[in-house]
Structure 1
Amino acid sequence: MTSQQTLTKEGGSPEEPGNPQSSSGLQAGLKNRHLSMIAIGGVIGAGLFVGSGSGIAAAGPAILLSYALVGTMVVFVMRMLGEMAAANPTSGSFSAYADRALGRWAGFSIGWLYWFFWVVVLAVEATAGAVILESWIPAVPQWAWALIVMVVLTATNLASVASYGEFEFWFAGIKVVAIGAFVVIGLLAVFGVLPGSDNPGAGFAHLTDAGGFFPEGYGAILTGVLMVVFSFMGSEIVTLAAGESEDPQRAVTKATNSVIWRIGVFYLGSIFVVLTLLPWNDKSIVKDGSYVAALNSIGIPHAGQIMNVIVLTAVLSCLNSGLYTASRMAFSLGRRGDAPKSFAKTNSRGVPKVAILSSVVFGFVAVFFNYQWPDTVFAFLLNSSGAVALFVWLVIAVTQLRMRGIIERESPEKLVVKMWLFPGLTWATIGMISFVLIYMLFDDAGREQVLLSLLVAAVVIAIAVGREWFGRGGRSAGPEDAAIPHQSGEKDSVTRS
């Protein structure tokens, strides 16, 4: 592109040099420190703290291999997504890339499924936070706490993208410090060198002293995979947020390159500490939670309340990022004509107000369902969004197969991040994800999630195909397209000066 051409920004107006915001577009209000902490915090969900005990009980010490397998899969997916996002930062991320590489139906479908996933998560996390807050201040009913939490974080997102980034910076910072301290203190106790520890300091003995490393058999590894896979969802948020940063390419590259150590330390490191502090079949791991049980074994007073504070922080972080992510995906869909045009409008602060409010309204409705019909309507919402994470990762992998060729042909200088051993490792990742989905169909706990998620996906895809078939979804190339290289012969969406 010559100096006489400037790409149209997502807001719809030409980007001027040095101008962080177009007249009606998103604002580049996220600083590098915000993006760094969003990238780190994105892999630390509340599920790590709350759900790891069940995984340990199901697979024993072999759960480490379950985490390692899923972690490896996430590293590969993030590498593929990082390749595309570093070349073309956009708020639509993988949805916009799928639109470009696979067809409009793919971008429409995965975008709406991803939005659906996060608005359901809003209800889950709001309820989880309300339970903790009610235990501290029982005078305020649980539903009121859920409402308060949702309202506060909605206001934060409406204020500016910088306020979202600042809140997430501190939320993620608390999680990182907490897990880092847990790993260090835990390892000292494991080797018997922590002053005043109540733990016997058995070293690595607990990894094999209760039925061996595979007490539930080798098949338990796959059972563990199904139990932990969804706690990794959120790693991709940094690629959506990068579009509102000062240096998106640098942010995406840094986040992609650091995902290995983040998963290694926060997931494998912390679970390893739990398994070496206690025998895997210790009843307190399920009863009190794996991290609380580990802290209690060391003799740290008020371990339960300490962990409640950390879990609440993780919940608020997930809520904050969930609302941001859902709204930016809605914004992107609006820009591409796949959602109401009002979703693509931003206010004077560069915030997509309608997209945020629409997302949170659905979140409020889901919270109501959770209190009114928890075992029917809300259970359906929860299960029908359960496999969306795997669908997203699968679409990212398939999209990258096509986008690599497009970028190499049209903008090879933008390939600053490359997927390793392409295309072999990409195909291997597709195989891994497909295997997990198929295995879920034969698992009693996972079957309903896959089938209901497939049903919802089929409905969304049918709508997408129907819109194209009947010609109601036509739109000219817009700003979302401008960020993505077009194939030869296609007209670029640019503003020429």
Structure 2
Amino acid sequence: MTNSSSAVSPPHAHSGPPRGLSNRHIQLIAIGGAIGTGLFMGSGRTISLAGPSVVFVYMVIGFFLYFMMRAMGELLLSNLHYKTFADFAADLIGPWAGFFVGWSYWFCWIVTAIAELVAITGYMQFWWPSVPLWLPTVVVLAVVFLLNAVSVKNFGEMEFWFALIKIVAILALIVTGVVMALTHFTSPDGHVAQIANLWNDGGWFPHGAMGVVAGFQIAVFAFVGVELVGTTAAEARDPRKTLPRAINSVPVRILIFYVGSLLAILVVMPWRAIDPEQSPFVAMFALAGLAGAASVVNFVVLTSAMSSSNSGVFSTSRMLFGLAAEGSAPRLFTGLNKVGVPVRALYVTALVLLLTIPVLYAGDSIIEAFTLITSVASLLFMFVWSMILVSYMRYRHKFPERHRSSEYKMPGGVVACIAVLLFFAFVVWALSLEPETETSLVALPVWLGLLGVAWVFVRRTESHRQAFAWFKKEMERPVENEHSEG
């Protein structure tokens, strides 16, 4: 379906991409979204800061984000015309909320995708040092763009296999750890693999309460993308079944993939013996005698980075489509190709991501710059998560009958929302304690301020008023067979 030429009837989110993602795709996308490269590469530093208590840190973050996911699930299923977070934020809070959420989420994934493309270049150089810096970026973008442009099913297939690789790697690590513990494996340094390693070197909290707080500063970044399953719901063939199933399994996935892998590492290697600058996955497999452990883990992290880039292209193109449908972005981004993919928004996303190339040649400070940028992105993700919770509270107030008839109610309701928002406030406080993350707290208000200035101009345009009036009308239209296969 192509975009209308009428000035008073712009396309809306309902006229969007077809539902081409199966249950298999949704379940693996949910898993992939819950497993970031931060687990593979950043968990060493988190362990050095928090010690064995890092296990509790990941459990606490997962616990609170589960309630955010449940709120998102009830909202998306309360009205199947909601295709993105920006949709229900605009409908329930107001057009400004849709504008802020949509553009913030778009920026989150643009920055994350650029960071991952830079990382991919680094991983490629691990094997082929002579490869030009620009080549991996161009190749990955071309592949991801072409596969996304053909059909949404291709995005689902890519994420399915990327997630499967991550799952196999983590399960292999857990099994290896269990075998090494049962056989009381002794490392060349004389460390014996045993459960007592979890508490026999300073206890569970060797650095006290502030060590645990420091763990939150880094660990929360590993969960970025956990909400991705919400952006795929619009293109799921049977969202009323697949979305609850994917969200309900989040706690189990966190226990297995995060807690399970970290416990395996800490049992085999005492926490003080773990190098914060090295991936503990590499160290673990190397101890087990796996030939080319660094290359194996490098491949896994490479696929994880490609998965994030793929998700970034998918998410930003859909969010740009939704923003255009609401009048918060140029209408040309509502154009769909013959198979229902927002190809114009896809083109813009790919072009913006080519900014990775000048960043690659920016100089020696590239790593420091990206530490700051990704910190800003993570704070923006927390902003989006918070707006999901605020939208839920507005939904409970505005449409109590929808909540009463909901088959997928959020446990804890408004009280749980407030508890999660307080937890996010705690994380922001934790980020203010370190200089490198404190700087990102200054950048966040600057971004929101720029959006505020842009909104002042956008809200005054006649095209926005017409588009939003159309959007509101469509949000109130009865849903007909939206949840059926097809």
- Taking structure 2 as the reference length, what is the TM-score of the superposition? 0.89
- From the superposition, tell whether residues 469 and 347 of structure 1 become closer, same or farther in structure 2 (CA, over 3 Å): closer
Q: 1:88, CA displacement in angstroms? A: 2.7
Judged with a 3 Å threshold, the aligned counterparts in structure 2 of structure 1 residues 125 and 476 are, in CA distance, closer, same or farther, namely closer
Q: Number of aligned pairs?
A: 470
Amino acid aligned to 1:302: G
Letter in 1 for 2:379: A
Equivalent position amino acid for 1:52 in 2: S
Partner of 2:90: 99
Maintained 8 Å contact 2:216/2:430: no
> Counterparts in 2 of 1:354-433, with a 5 A limit?
354-372=344-362, 375=365, 379=370, 381-410=373-402, 412-413=404-405, 415-433=406-424
Residues 386 and 235 of structure 1, relative CA distance in 2, 3 Å threshold = closer
List aligned pairs for 1:262-277, cutoff 5 A. Answer: 262-277=253-268
SS of 1:27's partner is coil
Structure 2 residue aligned with 1:63: 54
- In structure 2, the partner of 1:339 is 329
Match 2:307 to one of 303, 307, 317 = 317
Unaligned runs of 5+ in 2: 6-12, 481-486
Q: Per-residue displacement from partner, 1:177-221 (whole Å, max 9, x unpaired)?
A: 221221122122123278x99896532111122222212221111
Match of 1:125 in 2: 116
**2:10 maps to which residue?**
none
Cα gap change, 1:140/1:399 in structure 2, threshold over 3 Å: closer, same or farther? same
The 3 A distance-change label for structure 1 pair 185 and 59 is: same
The one-character-per-residue Cα deviations of 1:15-67 (angstroms, maximum 9, x if unpaired) are: xxxxxxx9973121111111111111111111110111111111111111221
1:5 match: none
1:112 equivalent in structure 2: 103
Matches within 5 A, 1:13-162: 25-89=16-80, 92-162=83-153
The 1:373/1:183 distance shift into structure 2, 3 A limit, reads: same
CA displacement at 1:270 relative to structure 2: 0.8
Contact (CA 8 Å) 1:201, 1:277: kept in 2 or not? yes
1:456 aligns with 2:469: no
RMSD: 2.8
Q: Deviations over 1:211-234 (max 9, x none)?
A: 222122211111110111111011
Structure 2 residue identity aligned to 1:318: S
* Cα separation, partners in 2 of 1:139 and 1:116, compared to 1, 3 Å: same
Among 173, 184, 203, the residue aligned to 1:182: 173
Deviation at 1:366, TM superposition (A): 3.7
1:108 Cα deviation after fit = 0.3
CA distance in 2, matches of 1:91, 1:354: 21
1:307 to 1:480, Cα distance in 2 relative to 1, 3 A: farther
- The whole-number CA distance in structure 1 between the counterparts of 2:179 and 2:61 is 28
Q: In structure 2, give the amino acid aligned to 1:461.
A: G
TM-score by length of 1: 0.87
- Report if the CA contact (8 A) 1:277-1:297 is conserved: no
Amino acid at match of 1:404: R
What amino acid sits opposite 1:405 in the alignment? H
Give the deviation of 1:72 after TM superposition. Answer: 1.3
Which residue, 400, 409, 434 being the options, matches 1:443? 434
* Partners of 2:326 and 2:464 within 8 A in 1: no
Q: Aligned partners of 2:436 and 2:219: how far apart in 1?
A: 13
